Every structure is written in C-alpha cells, then in structure tokens.
Copies of this chain bind each other. A is one copy, B any other.
Amino acid sequence: MPASGDRGGPVRRDAPIGVFDSGVGGLTVLKELRRQLPNESMLYLGDEARMPYGPRPAEEVRRFTREAMRWLSAREVKLIVLACNTATSVALEMVREEIPIPILGVVRPGAAAALAASSKRAIGVLATDGTVRSGAYVRALKDLDPFVDVRQQACPKLVPIVEAGEFAGPKARAAVEEYVGWMTRGPDGPLVDTLLLGCTHYPLLRPVIGDVVGPAVRVVDSATTTAFAVREVLVSHGMLAAPGRPEHRLFTTSDTATFRRVARTLFGEDLPAVEEVRLPEAA
C-alpha cells in the first residue's frame, strides 16, 4: 500500500522533507535530519519576518502556521516537520485536518527524549509563553509517565537573543540564570535532574545553558529524537529517498544576518542560496 495522506494522492519517496520554524531555531532540527538521513532532500521555511511566535495569541500562531503549511504543501513535500514548538503546541491538530500531507511535531519526540534521559523523572521544561500556556509538554510527559514531576518556565527573552545572534554573550547568560536558577539550584539540590529545551531556538544556547546548570542536570532537546522519529516513519512506509544527490533549499520570509550565520554554521561551504518568500502566498 503506497503511503498517502488521508485526502491526498500517493506521495513520491524522492520528494523533499519540508521543515518549518518561526525562525532560525528549526535549523537545529534540519542539522540532525541531515545527519541521520543523508539521502533526503529538504526544504526549509523560516518565518523570520514574523518571529517570535512565542508571545503571540494562539489564534495568530494558528493562522501563520496554516499559511506556512499551505506554502510547503504547494511544493509537494512528502512529509512536514513542524519544528516550532509553539506551532506544534497550538496548531498541529488543526493543520493536520486541513493539509493532506503528513505532519510530525516536535513535542512528543521531545517529551520522550526527556523521559529517557531522566532517572528521577523530575523534568524542567524551558519553552515559549505560548507553549507553556498550551500545556502541551505537561500533557505529552504525563501521557508517557503520569508520575512525572514537571516544572515549566516560560523564557520570553531567549528567542530574541538567539535571533540577534547573541548566543554566548552576557545577556544570554543572565537570562538563562534568571530562568533556570530556581529549578536547578534549590536549598536541597536541584528540583529537576533533566532540563528539556522545549523550543528549537534554545539548542543554539546549549553551551551557556550547560555552563549555568552544571553537570548534575542533563540537558536534552527534541532535534535528535525528532529526526529519529522521521527516520522511523519513513522506513515503516518504504518512503526513504533512494541514494543520490539530495538537494537542500532554504527559504525565509526575511533574509536576516542571523539566518545566514546559523545556516552557514550548519552547511559550511555548501551553503545553499537563501531565498526570500512572502507569506501568505498570493492565491
């Protein structure tokens, strides 16, 4: 049986994988996808012009996500990775009903990664306002382990810091201290043994976060497990691309210096052209 969306036609296995994020954060997922799936072509869309999504009302995030899914859908990708935690938290179910292409979010893989890493099952989640408000991580973690002890912290300063390219400066360190101090340095030791980076931007701050929390707290993100989940479903459905020369394309709604800088770190000399697009696309 060829894989198909519920209302779509059969999908080509050599079609690219679409990856969407509000900005540069999803490039951390793209990197892991390239590592685990070297034959796959990928098409990345970052909504730089409208980031950050985190502080926006859910209704607005849904509208922007719908526009991005339609844009990717029109380019006939075989699978979309919704690499934005905020969008996954508030819009995944809606866009799955509207778009005939299979969509994989990052929340469930992230929750699974955190539980696998945590021996005490005491987990801190750093995320955007929107993701924290949605309760998506608490739900995903408790579905897997109802005894889990979850602490959430909204981190509104982090995405702007990352998008400004200030990955390692004193501003980044001060913000991380402010957000994680209470959960990793209580009077009786850390309240959590694992810190889940519940936003794809945060792995770019990993050196600073690791420094601040110290070696007693494990820091995990959803990039590795999301790529693993993508690999697993493609294998299950006989949808892995044939060995060949994969093509990668990067699209952004605003061609910023940070987008190029992060993309260059990821692609090195092979950096594909960064192409600028508009959302919503004219009908």
Contact = CB atoms under 8 A, between A and B. Distances in A.
A120 to B, nearest CB: 5
B6 A146 contact: no
A74 interface: no
Contacts of A98: none
A102 to B, nearest CB: 4
Nearest to A101: B146
B147 A96 contact: no
Interface stretch (A18-26, A33-41, A135-143, A266-274): A135-143
A149 B6 contact: yes
A282 interface: no
B143 A108 contact: yes
Interface size of A as a range: 20 to 34
B145 A233 contact: yes
Given A93-B135, A96-B142, A122 B1 contact: yes
Main secondary structure of the interface of A (DSSP, over half): mixed
Contacts of A146: 79, 96, 102-104, 233
B120 A1 contact: yes
Contacts of A239: 147
A4 interface: yes
Copies assembled: 2
B147 A102 contact: yes
Nearest to A118: B236
Contacts of A150: 6
Nearest to A5: B147
A75 interface: no
Interface string A142-161: 11111101100000000000
Given A1-B122, A150-B6, A139 B93 contact: yes
A121 interface: yes
A104 B142 CA distance: 8
Contacts of A237: 121, 147
A51 interface: no
10 contacts: A3-B147, A6-B150, A93-B139, A102-B146, A108-B143, A108-B144, A121-B236, A146-B233, A147-B233, A147-B237
Given A79-B147, A121-B236, 12 more contacts: A3-B121, A3-B147, A4-B149, A6-B149, A6-B150, A93-B135, A102-B146, A104-B146, A108-B143, A108-B144, A147-B233, A147-B237
